[in-house]
Amino acid sequence: MVDSEFEFTSNFWNIWIIVLTVGNILACWWLVRWTSKPTAGEAATGDITGHTWDEGTLAEYNNPLPRWWLWLFYITMIFSAIYLALYPGLGTFRGLLNWTQQGQYDQEIQAAQEKYGPLFEKYAAQPIATVAGDPEALKIGQRLFLNYCASCHGSDAGGSPGFPSLKDGDWLYGGEPDTIKLSILDGRTGAMPAWGAVLNDQGVDEVAAYVISLSGRDADAAKVAAGKTHFASYCAACHGADGKGNTAMGAPNLTDNIWLYGGSPGVIQQTIANGRNGRMPSHRDFLGEDKAHLLAAYIYSLSNQ
């Protein structure tokens, strides 16, 4: 529980939570006491409730609960009272231990840093390319990757539509060791504008045909010629006149037949018409320099066996 969770817009809610919590515990105690106490004139084995079946051969008795079962109820109520005294749970009362989620998190992070910090520092002092050749370092880097990167890039780093493969040697922003580390630390934001309104359906179809031809695939020659003109006017500024991309802008190479969102004619047309927006979050505050260094070495190793 973080400090902000102890703040209420009105003290009414603080009192409301305390009353409900304590009242429920007391009500449970009273209910157990009331239902387990024999009434006047009741036999030790309980009375017949009057509910009978099968012409009176079966009858329902009002017997008291077994002692062990009864004490389980009391134990849970005692436990709840002790818990609420030690930990937060009664409005803004912090508990005698003054425990918070943030405090426990900080303690665990500090303990992990004391245990593993020297190991990460050792690898951080070495060039990324050198670390990429250390089998033990790569095992640690792989575990970091599986924890923080696999949900988007896949457990094998093969990527998925919209999330690039990290092992094919094709890099949007460059595959140099320091560039990979920078991508991990600060993230990346890529945006391709929508050209549907500018090119109209025919123009989109023509540009798609030209883009398909850049990777050596067959396309209608007339559409390719018209699409080349459109490409020079609207696309070359980012992808280059030859369509080989621009790592400074994250504009992909269109000549290698590797596609981030898919290379079918329909998908390419959709990309041109509607644009694309991609974002990789920053991991600087979460991972830190040393872990990012080791993770970058693992990713670098995937395309530089």
Distances (CA, A) of 253 to 87, 166, 186: 57, 15, 23
Nearest to 304 by CA among 180, 147, 187, 150: 180
CATH 1.10.760.10 at 190-280, yes or no: yes
Measured between alpha carbons, how far is 65 from 71 in angstroms, rounded to an integer?
A: 10
Three-state DSSP class for residue 224: helix
Instruction: Name the nearest CA neighbour of 121 among 137, 105, 107, 143.
Output: 137
Q: What is the pLDDT of residues 141-196, one digit of tens each?
A: 999 999 999 999 999 999 999 999 999 989 999 999 999 999 999 999 999 999 99
Listed by start position, the domains of the chain span 3-97, 103-187+282-302, 190-280
CB 243 within 8 A of CB 254: yes
State how far the alpha carbon of 167 is from the alpha carbons of 38, 152, 282, in Å: 76, 14, 21
CA 186 to mean position of chain CA atoms: 17
Could you tell me the two tokens for 53?
């079946």
CB atoms within 10 A of CB 145: 20
Q: Which CATH number fits domain 103-187+282-302: 3.30.450.40, 1.10.760.10, 1.10.357.140, 3.30.2020.30?
A: 1.10.760.10
Residue-wise pLDDT tens digits, 50-79: 777 877 778 887 777 788 988 999 999 999
pLDDT tens, residue by residue, 87-96:
999 988 889 9
Continuous H helices in 53-195? 67-86, 101-124, 128-131, 135-148, 150-153, 177-186
Q: Is the pLDDT of residue 39 over 70?
A: no
The band of 1, judged by pLDDT with boundaries at 50, 70 and 90, is very low
The reply to whether the predicted model has a pTM over 0.75 is no
Do the two domains 103-187+282-302 and 190-280 of this chain adopt the same fold?
yes
The one-letter code for the residue type at 299 is I
Q: Which residues on adjacent β-strands are paired with residue 95?
A: none
Query: DSSP alpha helices (H): ranges in the chain?
Result: 11-36, 67-86, 101-124, 128-131, 135-148, 150-153, 177-186, 196-214, 221-234, 236-239, 265-274, 284-302
Cα(first)–Cα(last) distance of the chain, in Å? 46
Q: Residue 259 in contact with residue 165, Cβ under 8 Å?
A: no
Amino acid in the structure at residue 298: Y
Contacts of residue 61, defined as CB under 8 A and 6 or more positions apart, other chains included, come to 45, 46, 47, 48, 49
